[in-house]
């Protein structure tokens, strides 16, 4: 596995108080890494960061990626071997309300991290995380590959397309001969225990089910590439591990990679809700609004490049992703103190599944 790559190594992780960042922080701690987290205070109650007691397991720094001086000071003082940049404004509907904040965080925040890395005079593998929504989505039956056009209809999507352009420009302009190696990662729609954000379908489902209410579903016909949070995280970790190797072998990996599920997991939101209700019975209501703000109806990713170059592939299918997600929430609903144990159990189960499937990161 990639255990040896991170054991005893320093990792600078932005966004560790968020959903994906908290899962990645806990996995890195389990791998023996020394994690320095840089993020805003958690913006949900409850928050996975607090449920996992992460402040006790890592260096916890409250900071804003929009503050270039704070980012640079944090990175240079940490002197990391690895950087994972996950901090972001990650909600489409919020981006319509706060577009300037969204661009400042997602575009300039990324630039601040990259600019800081220019001053890091030591080997470091950095993975800049964006999203599948960075592509100019024409909503056709087509899986977007890494060399397809970047864009975005809404402020969130376009900010992530811009972040990818910034990353590519910095990599080519400043890091060609640097000991710092830069890659970017684009993941599909992620589900998993501990996501408490507003305006996301799984947390919306869980909150309604906890209250015994019917689930309001805005876009039941929208199709997304659903995957458990551990899927892209395994890709980020494996990509970083490959980047950290010798100068000759890292070159194919200093680029952009998609991490998404198999085609069978491209499902409508309505199908996702029905799958959730198999594990936590309840009802749902179609709340489609023809006058609602624009959100993409169809989006798919190609992971051929990750499969070919990284020998990475998804581990859990759609049904397993949903089952593990709902089981986490139900377990914590019954026993709130169980969040950390459930998270570690699911990480171990995922690692075992990947090992059984002979996936490269789990057996090398």
The residues near 211 (Cβ < 8 Å, ≥ 6 apart) are: none
| 59: nearest Cα among 120, 20, 10 | 10
Give the per-residue pLDDT at 293. 63
How many domains does the chain divide into? Answer: 1
- Print the domain residue range for 298: 3-363
Instruction: Decide: 326 and 257 in contact? Cβ < 8 Å.
Output: no
Give the per-residue pLDDT at 282. 97
For β-strands 124-129 and 180-187, DSSP reports them as parallel
CATH number of 242's domain: 3.40.50.720
**Total residue length of the chain:** 364
Instruction: Decide: 16 and 35 in contact? Cβ < 8 Å.
Output: yes
* 248-304 pLDDT, tens digit each: 566 789 999 999 999 999 999 999 999 999 999 999 999 887 656 656 667 889 999
Give the per-residue pLDDT at 299. 81
Q: Would you write out the chain's pLDDT as a tens digit for each of its 364 residues? A: 777 899 999 999 999 999 999 999 999 999 999 999 999 999 999 999 999 999 999 999 999 999 999 999 999 999 999 999 999 999 888 999 999 999 999 999 999 999 999 999 999 999 999 999 999 988 787 899 999 999 989 999 999 999 999 999 999 999 988 999 999 999 978 999 999 998 899 999 999 999 999 999 988 988 889 999 999 999 999 999 999 986 656 678 999 999 999 999 999 999 999 999 999 999 999 988 765 665 666 788 999 999 999 999 999 999 999 999 999 999 999 999 999 999 999 999 999 999 999 999 999 7
Give the per-residue pLDDT at 364. 79
| 16-41: burial string, b at 16+ Cβ within 10 Å, e else | bbbbbbbbbbbbbbbbebbbbbbbbe
Using CB atoms within 10 A of its CB, is residue 50 exposed (0-12), middle (13-18) or buried (19+)?
A: middle
Six-digit token string for 299 = 């989006």
Give the per-residue pLDDT at 247. 61
Neighbours of 95 (CB within 10 A): 25
């Amino acid at each position: 596995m990639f255990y040896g790559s991170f054991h005893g190594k320093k990792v600078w992780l932005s966004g560790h108080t968020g959903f994906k960042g908290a899962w990645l922080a806990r996995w890195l701690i389990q791998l023996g890494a020394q994690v320095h987290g840089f993020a805003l205070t958690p913006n949900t109650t409850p928050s996975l960061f607090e449920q996992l007691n992460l402040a006790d397991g890592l260096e916890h720094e409250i900071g804003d990626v929009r503050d270039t001086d704070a980012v640079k000071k944090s990175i240079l003082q940490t002197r990391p071997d690895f950087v994972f940049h996950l901090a972001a404004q990650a909600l489409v509907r919020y981006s319509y309300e706060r577009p300037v904040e969204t661009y400042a965080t997602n575009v300039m925040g990324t630039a601040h991290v990259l600019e800081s890395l220019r001053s890091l005079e030591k080997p470091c593998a950095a993975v800049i995380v964006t999203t599948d929504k960075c592509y100019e989505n024409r909503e056709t039956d087509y899986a977007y590959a890494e060399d397809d056009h970047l864009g975005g209809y809404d402020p969130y999507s376009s900010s992530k397309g811009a972040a990818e352009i910034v990353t590519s420009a910095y990599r080519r302009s400043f890091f060609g001969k640097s000991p710092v190696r830069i890659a970017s990662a684009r993941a599909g729609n992620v589900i998993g225990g501990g996501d408490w954000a507003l305006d996301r379908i799984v947390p919306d489902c869980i909150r309604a089910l906890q209250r015994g209410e019917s689930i309001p579903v805005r876009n039941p016909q929208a199709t997304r590439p659903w995957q458990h949070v551990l899927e892209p995280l395994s890709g980020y970790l494996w990509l970083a591990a490959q980047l950290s190797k010798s100068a000759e072998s890292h070159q194919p990996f200093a680029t952009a990679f998609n991490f998404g599920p198999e085609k069978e997991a491209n499902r409508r939101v309505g199908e996702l809700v029905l799958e959730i209700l198999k594990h936590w019975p309840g009802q749902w209501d179609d709340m489609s609004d023809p006058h609602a703000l624009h959100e993409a109806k169809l989006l798919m990713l190609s992971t051929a490049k990750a499969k070919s170059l990284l020998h990475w592939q998804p581990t859990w299918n759609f049904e397993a992703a949903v089952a593990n997600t709902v089981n986490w929430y139900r377990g914590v609903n019954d026993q709130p103190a169980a969040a950390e144990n459930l998270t570690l159990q699911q990480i171990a189960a995922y690692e075992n599944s990947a090992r059984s499937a002979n996936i490269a990161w789990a057996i090398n």
